[in-house]
Chain A
Amino acid sequence: MKSVVKMENIVTKFGSKVVHNGINLEVEQNEIYGILGESGAGKSVLLKEMTMLLKPTSGSIYIFGKNINNLSAKEVLELKKNWGVLFQFGALFTSLTVANNIAILLREYTNISKKMVNYIIDEKLEMVGLDTSVKYLYPHELSGGMVKRAALARTLALDPKLLFLDEPTSGLDPVGARGFDELVVGLRDILDLTIIMITHDLDTIHNIVDKLSILADKKVVASGTLEEVLKSNHPFVKKFFKNEYINASI
């Protein structure tokens, strides 16, 4: 399997505060990879470093086999067209309708006809399980779950190969959250995606995540499949998975 994202020895400091002290992780193609950790463990910072919003103090990050520090501006743009990032609260453009939120990428980066763009918008909305009538609505007219779905539709607009999801199921009701999980797996299978997600949702971890890494004490304290992680003796891992029904179902 090809590695899609690889982080080597990532150290992050904000002033004198050390957030990461030597993080290593590797995500392979077609995986759904979970990143867990307590609040303040630096999960979001790690995701920002992968998506080039922040630079680590030291260490290297490889995406699709290329060191993202050594990319030319053109390569960076190409890379950005090939990934999609779903923010925790959607981050839809509030001044645009849902349709335009999705269409803006297609209009900026391709020369596809208007008619076809409209078909693609409908297709993406259907894919994420939204009714196509929402496309004329503005983000503030949507419910929390709909915002997440619409944001996912926008993320999928350019058919990226790599998806970053920041707590995709947080703020969704359990039924909606499981639906979202199914959706993610379905999209992965059909569109050949690699997915990296920050999540705290035990059901998500249990049902769809192939591999995961646990951040604590500024390091990755456990990683691998869920079974492998559960063998860890780290106090955070123990505390986090001290959950009857997860133990029962394995």
Chain B
Amino acid sequence: MDIKYKIREENNTTYIYCYGIWRVNTIEKVERSLDKLTFSNNSVFIDLMKVTELDSSGALLLFLLKKKVQKNGLQVNIENINEKYKKLFKLIEDSYKEEPKITIKNNNFIENIGKKSVDTYRYLIYFLTFIGELFVKSIYILKKPSNFRFKETIYFINSAGINALPIIGMTSFLVGVVIAYQTIVQLNKFGADIFVVDASAISIARELGPMITAIVVAGRTASAYTAELGAMKLTEEINAMKTMGFMPFYFLVIPRVVALIIALPILIFFSDIVGIFGSMVATKAQIGLSFDIFINRVYEVLSLKHYIIGIAKGPFFAFIIAVIGVFHGLRVSQDTESIGKETTKSVVNAIFFVIVCDALFSVIFTELGI
């Protein structure tokens, strides 16, 4: 039988007869109307004779009704309760406290700005501390090379470098195709089709190859580093290592950073080749320029410096990506949500700072006239 109640008034007394199932999933039907009841009589009887089921929430509702009526100075009795329900009411009576406080803290605008500023400041300090510690630990390793974890480093070169070859090859090839394709359309207007080789080879070797590789690696590896270390932090693996006297920097940080510094230039080299090959294919398809002519032209226009500048950016990009990835991984706190937050931050920051770094290089090299 469903939940319901009936009210009868007699001899200056209000009788509330309760029927049916008073459980957590049924009380919503009577909760609001019970709350609105007003009583004009001196005493109230709540009768539970016809209640077939009562759980702690149902009992709590009736108990709250009783309290409310009592507050208005009326006599209240809950009648016809069996022994078990009596225990339940006793339990609720014991645990009852006045109106639960709901404190919702609303930060105001100024407070939020302040908090955010302090957070950003702290973040910066932590980051600098981290970089500092990384350098100090690296110097220790130079002093005592046996601390360097060779096996781990190789493992990360494999996972961050070699396993990334297919996706980097695909992306670079497509970018090479697009660059050549778009350039030909423009150059065609001047009858200067052959310059497509200059445009694509130099731009790929100097800028696009390194950038695409860095961005793909930032997405792949920064996120992986953050998630790996974050999960280790959550499961207290990192604390376990610390108590065993293993330095997380030697075991976790330096192998990852070194591995990426080695892997990224190689990936850029690969990306250059595939990118230029992509341009070559597109040029052949578009204007029928033979591969021989294309390659000869590349020899003529692509001087070594463009190519070296491109590769030389690799270690810097790698350092940025690896350090940001690892740093955010170690910042994961005790809740699972922070893994997601930190991973997002690490990828976004890695890509952003790679681009900033690239812009700096661009300005420096141009000023130096290279």
Contacts and interface: CB of A to CB of B under 8 A. Distances in A.
Interface in A120-138: 120-124, 126-127, 132, 136, 138
For chain B, the bracket of interface size reads 20 to 34
Contacts of A123: 56-57, 60, 92, 95-96
Interface stretch (B8-16, B23-31, B41-49, B175-183): B23-31
Contact of A190 (B91, B334, B335): B91
A17 B312 CA distance: 54
A119 B35 CA distance: 14
Interface string A71-84: 00000000001000
Given A106-B24, A132-B100, A120 B57 contact: yes
A126 B100 CA distance: 12
A110 interface: yes
Contacts of A156: 56
A190 B87 contact: yes
A110 B25 contact: yes
Contact of A95 (B25, B64, B103, B335): B335
Contacts of A121: 100
Contacts of B25: 81, 109-110, 158
B334 A140 contact: yes
Contacts of B27: 110, 112, 116
Contacts of A132: 97, 100
B102 A118 contact: yes
Contact of B337 (A95, A110, A120, A122): A95
A145 interface: no
A89 to B, nearest CB: 11
A191 B59 CA distance: 11
Contacts of A140: 333-335
A94 B95 contact: no
Contacts of B84: 190, 192
A11 to B, nearest CB: 32
Contacts of A118: 100, 102
Interface in A64-110: 81, 94-95, 106, 109-110
A116 B56 contact: no
Interface in B43-102: 55-57, 60-61, 64, 84, 87-88, 91-92, 94-97, 100, 102
A179 to B, nearest CB: 15
B54 to A, nearest CB: 10
Contacts of A16: none
A137 to B, nearest CB: 12
Contacts of A247: none
A91 to B, nearest CB: 11
A28 interface: no
A249 interface: no
Contact of A191 (B88, B94, B333, B337): B88
B24 A110 contact: yes
B6 interface: no
A189 interface: yes
Contact of A122 (B91, B97, B103, B333): B97
A116 B337 CA distance: 29
A113 B32 contact: yes
Given A94-B334, A123-B92, A113 B31 contact: yes
A49 interface: no
Nearest to A186: B91
B335 A139 contact: yes
A156 B24 CA distance: 11
Nearest to A189: B87
A159 interface: yes
B100 A122 contact: yes
Contacts of A127: 56, 91, 95
B336 interface: yes
Residue in B25, B88, B336 whose Cβ sees the most chain A Cβ within 10 Å: B25
A106 B32 CA distance: 16
A243 interface: no
B55 A191 contact: yes
B60 A119 contact: yes
Interface string A7-21: 000000000000000
Contacts of B333: 140
A111 interface: yes
Contacts of B87: 189-190
B98 to A, nearest CB: 10
A130 B88 CA distance: 18
Given A110-B24, A123-B60, A95 B336 contact: yes
Given A112-B31, A119-B100, A120-B57, A94 B88 contact: no
Contacts of B60: 116, 119-120, 123
A111 B337 CA distance: 28
Interface in A132-178: 132, 136, 138-140, 156-159
A127 to B, nearest CB: 6
A82 to B, nearest CB: 10
Given A112-B57, A126-B97, A191-B88, 13 more contacts: A94-B334, A110-B24, A110-B28, A116-B60, A118-B102, A119-B64, A120-B24, A123-B92, A132-B100, A138-B335, A159-B23, A190-B91, A191-B55
10 contacts: A94-B334, A109-B25, A113-B31, A116-B31, A121-B100, A124-B56, A126-B94, A139-B335, A159-B23, A191-B88
The 9 A-B residue pairs with the shortest CB-CB distance in the complex, in nearest-first order: A126-B95, A140-B334, A94-B335, A159-B55, A111-B28, A95-B337, A118-B100, A122-B100, A190-B87
